[in-house]
């Protein structure tokens, strides 16, 4: 089999970069919606790595994993956004720093 022109490593590196950016977003931003978007970014970077390895190993199974991850992400977004809406109703804010009822 021919070697692909773009090495798998590059894709995985890109995935790592995107993951780091996503995690920074989760940690730094205070807007709950933006945190959510960052989580989506992290999930996408993981997907990218999966697809890259799938090509490397010539196995379709990873594609299935990506498919499932997307589905789970959809479910998670729906529930998460519902939570945000509910919180917004009670607190009139989407700032996660306003939520600290679990303080010990």
Partner 1 sequence: MVGTELALFIMIGALSILAAVMMLISENAVHSALFLIVNFACVAFMYLMLNAPFLFAVQITVYAGAIMVLFLFVIMLMGAERVLPQETQRFPWLAPATLGVTMALLFVAGLAIIQSDIDTSEPEPADPIFRFVHAVAGADAVDVYIDGEKVVSDLIYREASDFEDFPAGSYTAQVVPHESELVPENIVLETSVFLAGNGVISYVLTADTANGGVQALQVEGRIDPNDEKDFARLTVVHAIPCAAGTTSCPIEVADITEPGKDPQVLVKSLEYGQATHFEVKEGEYTLAAYAQGDVRAAIDERGDTDEKLNLDALVQVEEKVIDQNTGVLWVVTQDTTGGIVRPKILWFALDNNPDFGSAEGIGQLLFTDYLLPFEVIGLLLLTAMVGVIVLTKQHETPKKERFRRRMANVPGNPTVEEYVQSMRKNAADSSGD
Partner 2 sequence: MEGFYSAVSLVVIVPLVGMLINLFFGKKLGEKGAGFIAVGASAFAFVIALTLWATLVNQDYAPAIVNAPLIHSWISVPSAGIDIPWQFRVDTLSVTMMLVVTGVGTLIHIYATGYMHGDERFPRFFVYMNLFLVFMLILVSGNNLLVMFVGWEGVGLCSFLLIGFWFDKPGKHPKEGTVGWSNSNAARKAFIVNRIGDFGLLMGIFLTFWTFGTLDYYKPNEVIHLHHDDAPPPVFAVEGLEAEGEHAEATVTEGEHGGAEAAHGESEIHGIFTQAELWFEEGNHHVKFGSIDLDFDVVITLITLFFLLGATGKSAQIPLFVWLPDAMAGPTPVSALIHAATMVTAGIYMMVRSNSFFYNADLTSFVVTIVGISTALAAGFMALGQWDIKKVLAYSTVSQLGFMVAAVGLGAYAAAMFHLVTHAFFKALLFLGSGSVIHAMEHGHHHAHEHGHGHDDEHDEHDEEHHDDHEFDPQDMRNMGGLAGKMRLTYITYLIGALALAGIFPLAGFWSKDEILADAFTIGFDEGELKGYLALAVLITAAAMTAFYTWRQICLVFYGKPRTAAAEHAPESVSAMTTPLAILAVGALLVGFMNVPNGIPLLGWLFEGIFGEHRFTLFLEESVIHAHAGDFNAVLALLATGIALGAMYAAHAIYGSKAMPMPMEKDPLEDGQFQPLFALSNAKLYWDEAYFKYIVYPFQGAARFLANTIDWDFWHNFVHDRIIGQGFQGAADVISQPIDRQVVDKGFMSLATGVLAAGSRLRKTQTGYVRTYALSLMMGALLVIVIILLPTLRDLLGI
In the region spanning residues 14 to 33, those forming contacts with partner 1, defined by CB under 8 A, are 14, 16-25, 27-31, 33
Query: Least separation, in Å, of the C-beta of 80 and partner 2?
Result: 12
CB of 73 to partner 1, least distance (A): 7
C-alpha separations of 28 from 21, 35, 71, 94 in Å: 10, 8, 27, 14
CA distances (Å), origin 65, targets 17, 54, 56: 21, 10, 15
Identify what 46 binds: partner 2, partner 1, none; CB under 5 to 8 Å per kind: none
Chain length of the chain: 104
Q: Which of residues 50-89 bind partner 1 (CB under 8 A)?
A: 51-61, 63-64, 66-68, 70-79, 81-86, 88
């Amino acid at each position: 089999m021919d070697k692909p022109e773009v090495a798998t490593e590059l894709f995985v590196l890109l995935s790592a970069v995107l993951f780091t950016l996503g995690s920074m977003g989760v940690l730094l931003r205070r807007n709950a919606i933006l945190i959510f978007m960052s989580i989506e970014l992290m999930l996408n970077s993981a997907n990218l790595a999966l697809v890259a390895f799938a090509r490397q190993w010539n196995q379709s199974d990873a594609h299935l994993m990506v498919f499932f991850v997307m589905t789970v992400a959809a479910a998670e977004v729906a529930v998460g956004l519902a939570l945000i809406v509910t919180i917004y109703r009670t607190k009139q804010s989407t700032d996660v720093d306003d939520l600290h009822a679990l303080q010990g």
